[in-house]
């Protein structure tokens, strides 16, 4: 059964740190001269990447509540814009996120519900996820500096509640090891990437989602 909804609710908050990560993977990094050799190294590493997969640990800290929620899961990305993230709860796949052909899908397995929506620049504007697929250049959207061996990105203009994004090195073949985002309330979302494998030959079928029987499907309709 399909229903229209004006907002997918808090589900899409899970996506924010993920899209900053793939913005480097799928989009232009910008003028390397403005951010030093670290960005040049990242750009060079991505030149020969066709696909990537691995696992991750995500920690979301809400400062006012003094609470940290921990998530883990796996991810797959295929150039130029196919993506699949699987969040796991107690060893079970709880939430899956798909992006392909201009569509975003969030599947909540335990709740038996699916959110579908259009993924484009018009829909997301200057939001962080608009960087996916080259909607903007990192150099145009952020001031980029180096801090303790990491890249520190600060939005040049208002980007929701985001204050800064910090990208840490991995020391391995894939250059990004961690990603941390801080908002105006000093809440922090951190993702640590593990067991990353590049160019394993991921099939397009891995990014195709078909709603299983018995789930409720909600079509996200943007307010006019």
Taking only the tens place, the pLDDT of each residue in 73-93 is 999 988 877 889 888 865 565
Q: How far is CA 16 from CA 13, 19, 83, in A?
A: 6, 6, 14
**Greatest mean pLDDT among 6-15, 52-61, 122-131:** 52-61
Give the dihedral sign, CA 141/11/218/158: negative
Q: Which residue in this structure is represented by tokens 């995500």?
A: 58
Separation between Cα atoms, residue 174 and residue 75, nearest integer Å: 14
Over range 115-141, report the average pLDDT: 55
Q: How confident is the model at residue 26, as a pLDDT?
A: 52
The pair of three-digit structure tokens given for residue 26, joined into one six-digit string: 């799928």
Q: What are phi and psi of 14, to 5 degrees?
A: -65, -25
Give residue-wise pLDDT tens across range 158-216.
776 788 888 888 877 777 888 888 888 898 988 898 998 999 999 999 999 998 999 99
| 216, part of any domain | no
* Banded pLDDT at 40 (limits 50, 70, 90): low
**C-alpha dist (Å) from residue 222 to 68, 119, 139, 190:** 31, 11, 29, 29
Closest among 87, 78, 106 to 201, alpha carbons compared = 78
Q: What is the pLDDT of residue 149?
A: 79
pLDDT over 50 at 12, yes or no: no
Examine residue 143 and state whether it is found in any structural domain, yes or no: yes
The contacts of residue 123 (CB under 8 Å, 6+ apart) are 117, 222
Indicate whether 223 belongs to any domain.
Answer: no
d(CA 196, CA 188): 23
What CATH number is associated with residue 78?
2.50.20.10
Strands 51-62 and 188-198: antiparallel
Task: Note whether residue 208 is domain-resident.
Answer: no
Interatomic CA distance for residues 164 and 154, integer angstroms: 5
Structure tokens, 105: 């899908």
Q: What is the largest CA-CA distance in the chain?
A: 53
* Distance from C-alpha of 193 to C-alpha of 31, rounded to nearest angstrom: 25
The reply to whether 17 falls in a domain is yes
CA-CA-CA-CA torsion sign (48, 53, 57, 62): positive
Say what the pLDDT of residue 134 is.
37
Task: List the domain range (segments joined by +) for residue 75.
Answer: 2-202
Residue 220 or 127, more confident: 220
Residue 132 lies in a domain: yes
Please indicate, yes or no, whether the overall pTM of this predicted structure exceeds 0.85: no
Number of domains in the chain: 1
Residue 210 lies in a domain: no
Q: Does 130 map to a domain?
A: yes
What is the pLDDT of the chain when averaged over all its residues? 75
Percent with pLDDT over 90 in the chain: 15
Distances (CA, A) of 143 to 30, 77, 204: 11, 26, 35
pLDDT higher than threshold 80 for residue 135: no
pLDDT, tens only, 148-158: 878 888 888 77
């Amino acid at each position: 059964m399909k229903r229209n909804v004006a907002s997918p609710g808090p589900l899409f908050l899970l996506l924010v740190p993920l899209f900053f990560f793939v913005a480097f993977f799928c989009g232009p990094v910008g003028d390397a001269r403005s951010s030093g050799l670290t960005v040049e190294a990242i750009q060079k590493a991505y030149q020969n990447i066709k696909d990537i997969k691995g696992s991750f640990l995500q920690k979301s800290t809400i400062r006012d509540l003094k609470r940290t929620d921990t998530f883990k899961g796996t991810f797959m990305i295929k150039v130029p814009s196919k993506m699949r993230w699987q969040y796991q709860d107690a060893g079970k796949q709880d939430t899956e996120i798909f992006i392909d052909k201009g569509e975003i899908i969030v599947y909540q397995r335990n709740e038996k519900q699916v959110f579908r929506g259009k993924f484009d620049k018009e829909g997301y504007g200057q939001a962080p996820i608009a960087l996916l697929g080259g909607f903007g250049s990192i150099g145009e959207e952020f001031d980029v500096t180096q801090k303790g061996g990491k890249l520190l990105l600060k939005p040049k203009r208002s980007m929701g509640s985001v204050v800064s994004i910090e990208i840490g090195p991995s020391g391995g073949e894939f250059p990004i090891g961690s990603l941390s985002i801080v908002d105006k309330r000093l809440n922090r979302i951190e993702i640590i990437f593990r067991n990353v494998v590049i160019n394993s030959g991921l099939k397009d079928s891995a990014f195709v989602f078909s709603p299983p029987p018995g789930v409720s499907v909600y079509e996200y309709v943007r307010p006019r």
